[in-house]
Structure 1
Amino acid sequence: MTDDRMPPRFTGHTHARHDTTPVLEVDGIPVTVSVDAAATLWVCDLLSGTCTQRPLELDAAGPEDEWYYEVGEWDEADDEYDEHDEDGLRPRWQLDEWEIASELTAAYLGDRPVVVTGGGRFDLAGPDLETMGGAVRVWDLHTGRKIGKTLTGHGLGVTALTTVPTRDGLLVVSSSEEGALRAWDVTRGKRVAGIQASYNGGMGAGHVAGRPVAVTGGHDDFVQVWDLNSGELLGRSLTGIKPVVRALAAVEIAGRTVVAAGGDENALHLWDLETAEPLGAPLTGHTDRIRTLGTARVADRAIAVTGSNDGTSRVWDLARGEQLGAPLPGHLEMVTELAGAPVAVTHALDAGIRVWDLARAVG
């Protein structure tokens, strides 16, 4: 049963092959953004239910770095590469449309709505490379054209992907199977952080004391917080949670940084980053693993929303350490803002995408 203080505002659907389907406000209209198995971008209007589709610009999806290519040119007569022709280069990889959007998010690059994709393990696999995945790409939401360079640096697939707006521009942050955490300033086209974090990494990102940070966990029994400007660990590793850690966030409450994490224990853990001590007992209620987590500030209260494999999402008051209202039906996709108001986006097979007004949870 849903809490009658939190009725859905919109409904819709998705064409995703990735784990989450972001919602973005474009020209005042809330839309879902997804990429299907054929690398086609779908944008669906949540008010009218109409969808538009446009292919991603796959001809530009390859990396620009020289080592991804080798000497050779295509010989049309023999239908193969001539490795003795030194006048041309041939790619060492083959693009896999299915793998190009293993993870996906959406954001604004300046005033431009964009889609960010993170590739799977075989994103750029080829006959000369057994695996070479994890490429990150930024695409124009309106045209499907790639913006800037293909961002490389992961050997295996991207497992978590998000964006962080800063005063200097937009940061794209990704974590991968091998535990590599990467952050790129896509406004200026450069990498700002390369960090070795938890294997098969879960990751969340945001701001602490005005600094962009990432919170990481995975197949380890601890959680860590990283300064993305310096690449340094903030405080100590936070312990007391069992693997696998899948969903993470950091928020400021009454002048202190609170780190939240959930995973296969079905519970939400909270720590004070400065002391590295847990804040009370873990918050329980889910009956299966927590896979997604989002935070928001509503009526000057820090709240979190968790999504679980039990088919529900739950809203928590982080300062009080208590659940707000009854569980929401559907799995949490993301927490964002629409029309200036914080909302939770959930997805259920029988109800599609639903958007919930979080202000009603605390009102």
Structure 2
Amino acid sequence: MRHAMGFHIPLIMSVPWSTVRRMADHRILKTFPDPDGGAVHALAPLVLDGAPAVIGKHGDGSLWTCDLTTGERVGHPIDLDSAAPDDPVPDAEGTIWDDEDFEDEKGEADAYEVVSLLTATSLDGHPVLVTGGGRFDLTSLLGEDYMGGAVRCWDLATGEKIGKTMTGHGLGVTALATVPSERGPLVLSSSEDGVLLVSVLASGERVAEIRGSYNGAMAAAVVDGRPLAVTGGHDPHLEVWDALTGEAVGGPRQIGAPVHTVALTEVAGRAVILTAGDDNTLRMWDLPTGRPAGGPLSGHAGTIQGITLTRLGGRAVAVTEAMDDPPRIWDLTRAEQLGGTLAVPGEQPPTAVTAMDINGEPVVVTGHDDGTIRVWRISAP
């Protein structure tokens, strides 16, 4: 199962600046500045024409890819004219207008709202982009009587929408994931209102609609050949779901506190759930029983906002990004932090983080407020 940052080095007057830079940068494999200098708001890994790359977005919703071999960046506009729902959807009062009235209501898509979240995967061997909308996604398209974020799949080469616009969220999309299944790739989306939707990626056909927890933390993966989703958020418990049937897998796992983000992976042969909440720590829970799987992993000075997964030498590794704090890397098998924070002296923490493999080596990729992309090694030099 793959999905998918470290310590501040103080500047001591007796240590030359060049030495501090070397200490901080020994894990940086590549640095790609952005000639346009726009802040990176999101990143997702993908493979383009056989080369490792990331797709990212700027604050205005514009999309681009960065080749992690050459640093070349290419813009990827998407067909926003096709972003509106294909079928009538209920307004805030629950009214569903007929097709003619629905067509008359369609307005202009807001790229910022359409691309609130993003992830990338492949469909029939071709890279595709999946986007989740913000809470005013449908408002910009259908008017003030509508609210909620839609999910869409896009052909990365042409920018054309694939399948239907997937609606059903009353507020913004908070988490996106894709998993393989017997029905083909599935896209799972969770929202602020706690609704988890499961759809067939290629068509947009709805598979399941699940009531999760408000604030919509969610992760998904294939466990023992079965696509599962884990939800959390406002409630002090986690729930596990069969993504194909929408049925609960066991009862709620009581963890005692709300969570901001969750992840699902395998550690030492056991399926575990990772969570992070208001206490700035990363915690592991045994998926079948819900019991703690080791002690908390602490070190962040801010709230953990994201967990990205990879593997190092067969061991599960998590990369955490936190508010106003550099990313940290954790060896989950050994329950310890790997190295220092992913920080460059004199710079703000990264604005976006992801992880991937390049030529068999796991790396972390960070995006920054000046548009720079950096590739960091996970293993020791």
Measured against the shorter chain, the TM-score band is 0.7 to 0.9
Query: Given that residues 103 and 119 in structure 1 are in contact (C-alpha distance below 8 angstroms), is that contact kept between their aligned partners in structure 2?
Result: yes
**SS at the partner of 1:232?**
coil
The correspondence of residues 181-196 of structure 1 with structure 2, limited to 5 A, is: 181-196=196-211
In the alignment, is residue 235 of structure 1 matched against residue 256 of structure 2?
no
Unaligned ranges ≥5, structure 1? 74-82
| 2:326 partner amino acid | T
Aligned residue for 1:353? Answer: 373
CA shift digits 1:183-240 (9 cap, x unpaired): 1111354222211111111222212112112222212222222221221222332333
Query: Given that residues 171 and 191 in structure 2 are in contact (C-alpha distance below 8 angstroms), is that contact kept between their aligned partners in structure 1?
Result: yes
Partners of 2:116 and 2:370 lie apart in 1 by 23
Q: 1:306 aligns with which of 311, 320, 345?
A: 320
In the alignment, is residue 135 of structure 1 matched against residue 150 of structure 2?
yes
| 2:234 partner amino acid | H
| 1:21 partner amino acid | L
| 1:123 partner amino acid | D
In the alignment, is residue 206 of structure 1 matched against residue 227 of structure 2?
no
TM-score, structure 1 length as denominator?
A: 0.84
In the alignment, is residue 11 of structure 1 matched against residue 26 of structure 2?
no
CA shift digits 1:138-175 (9 cap, x unpaired): 11112211111111111111111122234542211111
Query: Given that residues 37 and 371 in structure 2 are in contact (C-alpha distance below 8 angstroms), is that contact kept between their aligned partners in structure 1?
Result: no
In the alignment, is residue 26 of structure 1 matched against residue 48 of structure 2?
yes
Partners of 1:211 and 1:38 lie apart in 2 by 38
Partners of 1:273 and 1:101 lie apart in 2 by 31
* TM superposition shift of 1:293: 0.5
Aligned residue for 2:185? Answer: 170
| 2:161 partner amino acid | K
CA shift digits 1:99-148 (9 cap, x unpaired): 11111111111211111111111111167643322111111112211111
**SS at the partner of 1:55?**
coil
**SS at the partner of 1:125?**
helix
* TM superposition shift of 1:270: 0.9
* TM superposition shift of 1:267: 0.1
In the alignment, is residue 103 of structure 1 matched against residue 117 of structure 2?
yes
Query: Given that residues 12 and 46 in structure 1 are in contact (C-alpha distance below 8 angstroms), is that contact kept between their aligned partners in structure 2?
Result: no
**SS at the partner of 2:260?**
strand
* TM superposition shift of 1:269: 1.0
Partners of 1:167 and 1:296 lie apart in 2 by 24
Partners of 1:144 and 1:132 lie apart in 2 by 25
Q: 1:250 aligns with which of 234, 252, 264?
A: 264
Higher helix share: 2
**SS at the partner of 2:245?**
coil
Cα–Cα, structure 1 residues 264 and 299, in superposed 2: closer, same or farther, change >3 Å? same
Partners of 1:36 and 1:351 lie apart in 2 by 8
Cα–Cα, structure 1 residues 189 and 348, in superposed 2: closer, same or farther, change >3 Å? closer
Query: Given that residues 242 and 265 in structure 1 are in contact (C-alpha distance below 8 angstroms), is that contact kept between their aligned partners in structure 2?
Result: no
Query: Given that residues 18 and 103 in structure 1 are in contact (C-alpha distance below 8 angstroms), is that contact kept between their aligned partners in structure 2?
Result: no
Query: Given that residues 266 and 290 in structure 1 are in contact (C-alpha distance below 8 angstroms), is that contact kept between their aligned partners in structure 2?
Result: yes
Percent identical across equivalent pairs? 44
In the alignment, is residue 156 of structure 1 matched against residue 171 of structure 2?
yes
| 1:319 partner amino acid | T
* TM superposition shift of 1:253: 2.7
Cα–Cα, structure 1 residues 72 and 318, in superposed 2: closer, same or farther, change >3 Å? closer
Aligned residue for 2:85? Answer: 63
Query: Given that residues 283 and 297 in structure 2 are in contact (C-alpha distance below 8 angstroms), is that contact kept between their aligned partners in structure 1?
Result: yes
Q: Which moved more, 1:300-309 or 1:23-32?
A: 23-32
Partners of 1:324 and 1:286 lie apart in 2 by 14
Partners of 1:295 and 1:89 lie apart in 2 by 42
| 1:24 partner amino acid | L
Partners of 2:227 and 2:24 lie apart in 1 by 34
Query: Given that residues 163 and 203 in structure 2 are in contact (C-alpha distance below 8 angstroms), is that contact kept between their aligned partners in structure 1?
Result: no
Unaligned ranges ≥5, structure 2? 1-8, 10-22, 91-95, 344-348
Query: Given that residues 38 and 371 in structure 2 are in contact (C-alpha distance below 8 angstroms), is that contact kept between their aligned partners in structure 1?
Result: no
Cα–Cα, structure 1 residues 12 and 140, in superposed 2: closer, same or farther, change >3 Å? farther
Higher strand share: 1
Q: 1:280 aligns with which of 288, 291, 294?
A: 294
Partners of 2:192 and 2:60 lie apart in 1 by 23
Cα–Cα, structure 1 residues 26 and 286, in superposed 2: closer, same or farther, change >3 Å? same
Q: 2:279 aligns with which of 254, 260, 265?
A: 265
* TM superposition shift of 1:18: 8.2
Partners of 1:55 and 1:155 lie apart in 2 by 26
* TM superposition shift of 1:279: 2.1
